[in-house]
A and B are shown apart, each in its own frame.
Chain A
Amino acid sequence: MNLHFWWFFTSYLRPIIKWFLRKTTGLCELQRICYGTVSGAPRVVAVERSLNLSRTRQIRQLVDHLNDIADQKRFTDVNERKILKGAVNTVLAVKKINPKTHYQFGIAFGKCVEQIWGYRQLVAEVEHLRKICFDSDICEHERKLYDLWKYLMPEEELEGRVSKQWQTIGFQGEDPKTDFRGMGMLGLENLLFFASEYRAPAQHVLMHSQHPTYGYCFAIVGINLTSMAWVLLRDGTAKTYFYNISRSLPTIRLFHSFYSYLFYEFDKFWVQTKPQDIMQFSNVKEKFEKNIRTMLKNPCSNFKIALTVENV
C-alpha cells in the first residue's frame, strides 16, 4: 500500500507540486533545496533525492555519467573541478537558471555534487581495499603489520614475525595473517589508522580490551567493526556522517576516521554493558549497531569524536 502511494506520489503529485512551487517561487526544486535547507547532510540528501527522482533526460544522463566516473574512481583532484563545473553548468542550462543572479546556487549545488559522488567513489575505493588479501610476500603488507605492533605496543619488542605476542593485541593465534579474512587490507589499514592517528584513545581502548573480566580481543573485534563500518558505508546509512563532516572530496582517511569513531564508541558501550564474557559479543555488537543506525537516521546527528577530550 505504501508502495502504491509512493508510486502515485512520484508519478503524479510530485510533478504537480513541483510545477506549482516553481511558478509561485520562481525557483526550481534544486534551488529551493540549496537556498532553503541547512548545509550538510540535510541539504546533500535532499539534492541527491531530487536528482535521482528527476525525469528530465539531460539530468538522468548527468546522473549516469557521474555514477560511471565515481565507480571507476576517476573523480580525482585533477578532474574534480572540470567534472563539478560540467555538472553545475548542465543543471543551470537545463533549469534555465541565470548564473549571474544565482551564483550562490552554483557554489552550493557543486558542493552537494562533490559529496554525493565523492561518497559513491569512496564506496568503490573501500571495496577495492577490502578485496586485497593480506599477503606475507608483499613487503608493504608486512611493514604495516609491524607498524601496527609498534604503535600499539611501543614498550614491547616483537620477538618474531610468528609469535604468541600477537595475542596480546587480540589476534587469534601466532600469525595474524589469517585473521584479516574477508576484510583484507581494509581491516589492517583501519586498525593501523586508529592506532597511529588516535594514539591515546587507541591505547585507552587496548587497555580496556585487556581487562581481566571485561576484556575482549582488540584486533578481532576491530576487524568485526571494519565489517560493520563497511556495511554501513555500502548500504548508505553512513551518508549522514560523511555529508556532515566532509568539507571537500571525501577520502579513505575519512572512512578510517569513521571506523575509529565506531571503535572508540563500541569500547565505551562494551564497558557500560558489562558483558559476562566474550561470548556476548554478537549480542552487544547487534545492540551497538542498532544504536548507531538510529543516530545516523537523524540527519542533524553530529559525530564529532569526543576522542581527543579524554586523556588516559
Chain B
Amino acid sequence: MGLLSILRKLTSTPERELRLLLLGLDNAGKTTILKILASEEVANVTPTAGFNIKSVMSDGFKLNVWDIGGQRKIRPYWKNYFENTDVLIYVVDSADKKRLEETGIELYELLSDDKLHNVPLLVYANKQDLPESLSASNLAQALGLPSIKDRAWQIQACTAVQGTGVRDGMEWVCKSIKKK
C-alpha cells in the first residue's frame, strides 16, 4: 500500500458493491463457478464445509460472492446469509435427474422467504457437457421457472469445469442490477 494507491482510491468513483449468494444442492458446481469468477484453477475443488467467499470486479461492480455448502446438513444455515442479498444465484446439476425434485423444493423454499423477496434470480443449468444433461430450457420448464412472476429471473446454460457460460450469467446479473 503506497501513497499512489491511496490517491487512486480517493480520486476514483466509489464502486458499487453487490452481494451475490450462490446456493444449490451439493455437487451442483457452486465452488467451481466461484473459482471461475475469480479466475482460479478449478481442477482441485473440494466439497465445501461451511462457506467460501470471494470478491471479484465485474462491469464496474465489486461482486462479493458467497458460496455456501449445499449438503443437507448445511442447508439450515443458508438463511443466515440471506440479508441484503442483491442477486440469488442458484446452481443446478442438469444431469442429476434423480435429485431434480429435491433441488426444485429447495429453490421454491428460498423464493418464498421474506428476506429474498424481489431479489433477482439467476439459475445456472450446469454440467451441460454431460451426455444425460437437460438443456437450459428443459430445465427451466422442469423447475417451473416461467411461473415466477414476482422477480426478474434468468436461466443460463454453463459448463463450469470448462468455464463456458459462467460469464454470460454474470452479464445478466450486472444488467439486472443496473435496471433496478
Do A and B make up one complex?
A: yes
**Interface-facing stretch out of A77-85, A220-228, A235-243, A244-252:** A220-228
Q: Is A192 an interface residue (CB 8 A)?
A: no
Interface residues as binary, A278-289 with B (CB distance below 8 Å gives 1, 0 otherwise): 111110000000
A86 at the binding interface (Cβ < 8 Å): no
Contact A182 B45 (CB under 8 A): yes
Cβ contact within 8 Å between B49 and A278:
yes
B52 interface hit (Cβ, 8 Å)? yes
Q: Which residues of chain A from 129 to 159 have a CB within 8 Å of any chain B CB? A: 130
Chain A neighbourhood of B52, CB < 8 A: 282
Q: Of B51, B70, B71, B72, which one neighbours A279 at CB under 8 angstroms?
A: B51
Indicate if the CB atoms of B51 and A220 lie closer than 8 Å: no
The answer to whether A181 and B73 touch across the interface, beta carbons within 8 angstroms, is no
A257 at the A/B interface (Cβ < 8 Å)? Answer: no
B17-32 interface bits toward A, Cβ cutoff 8 Å, 1 = contact, 0 = none: 0000000001100000
Q: Work out how many contacts link A and B, with CB atoms closer than 8 A.
A: 65
Quick one: closest B residue to A282, CB to CB? B50
Cβ–Cβ contact A182 & B50, under 8 A: no
Contact B49 A220 (CB under 8 A): yes
Of B47, B71, B77, the residue contacting A224 (CB under 8 A) is B47
Pick out which of these stretches binds chain B: A20-28, A35-43, A45-53, A171-179: A171-179
Q: Which residues of B contact A216 (CB under 8 A)?
A: 49
B80 within 8 Å of A by Cβ?
A: yes
* B42-62 residues at the A interface, CB under 8 angstroms: 42-47, 49-52
State in angstroms the CA–CA spacing of A215 and B62 once bound together.
Answer: 35
User: Which residues of chain A are within 8 angstroms of B45 by Cβ–Cβ distance?
Assistant: 181-182
In the complex, A70 has a CB within 8 A of chain B = no
A281–B26 Cα gap in the complex (Å)?
A: 17
Q: Are the C-beta atoms of A217 and B73 separated by less than 8 Å?
A: yes
Beyond A224-B49, A282-B51, A282-B52, is A183–B44 a contact (Cβ under 8 Å)?
A: yes
List the A side residues contacting B47 at CB < 8 Å: 172, 179, 181, 220, 223-224
* Interface size class, chain A: 20 to 34
Q: Does A197 contact B (CB under 8 A)?
A: no
The distance from the CB of B21 to the nearest CB of chain A, in whole angstroms, is 14
A279 CA to B74 CA in the complex, in Å? 8
Q: How long is the Cα–Cα vector from A278 to B73 in the complex, in angstroms?
A: 9
User: What residues of chain A lie closer than 8 Å to B50, measured between beta carbons?
Assistant: 278-282
B90-117 near A? 1/0 per residue, CB < 8 Å: 0000000000000000000000000000
| B43 pairs with A182, CB closer than 8 A | yes
Does A173 contact B26, Cβ atoms closer than 8 Å? yes
Cα-based distance from A278 to B70 in the complex (angstroms): 13
Q: B114 → chain A, closest Cβ, in Å?
A: 21
Q: Which residues of A contact B49 (CB under 8 A)?
A: 216-217, 220-221, 224, 278, 281-282
Roughly how many angstroms separate A300 CA and B70 CA in the complex, as a whole number?
42
Q: Which residues does chain A contribute within 8 Å of B73, judged by CB atoms?
A: 167, 172, 217, 278
B27 adjacent to A230 (CB under 8 Å): no
B residues less than 8 Å from A178 (CB atoms): 26-27
Beta-carbon contact of A227 and B44 below 8 Å: yes
Task: Name the residue in B45, B70, B71 with the highest tally of chain A Cβ atoms < 10 Å from its Cβ.
Answer: B71
**In angstroms, how far is the closest chain B Cβ from the Cβ of A64?**
27
Residue among A223, A227, A230, A279 with max Cβ neighbours from chain B (10 Å): A279
A279 and B80 within 8 A (CB): yes
The residue in B43, B50, B52, B69 that gathers the most chain A C-beta atoms within 10 A of its C-beta is: B50
* A172-B26, A279-B77, A282-B51 given; A182·B72 CB < 8 A: no
Contact flag A278-B46 (CB < 8 Å), given A172-B26, A172-B27, A178-B27? no
Shortest beta-carbon distance, B60 to chain A, in Å? 28
In addition to A224-B49, A279-B74, A281-B50, 17 A-B residue pairs with Cβ atoms within 8 Å of each other are A130-B44, A173-B27, A179-B27, A181-B45, A181-B46, A183-B44, A216-B49, A220-B49, A221-B49, A226-B46, A227-B44, A278-B49, A278-B50, A278-B69, A279-B50, A279-B80, A282-B49
Residues of A within 8 A of B (CB): 130, 167, 172-173, 178-179, 181-183, 187, 216-217, 220-221, 223-224, 226-227, 230, 277-282
9 smallest CB-CB distances across A and B, nearest first, come from A281-B50, A172-B71, A182-B44, A281-B49, A178-B27, A182-B45, A172-B26, A279-B50, A220-B47
- List, sorted by A's number, 30 A–B pairs whose CB atoms are closer than 8 Å: A172-B26, A172-B70, A173-B26, A173-B71, A178-B26, A179-B27, A179-B47, A181-B45, A182-B43, A182-B44, A182-B46, A183-B44, A216-B49, A217-B71, A217-B73, A220-B47, A220-B71, A224-B47, A226-B46, A227-B44, A277-B77, A278-B50, A278-B74, A278-B77, A279-B51, A279-B77, A280-B50, A281-B50, A282-B50, A282-B52
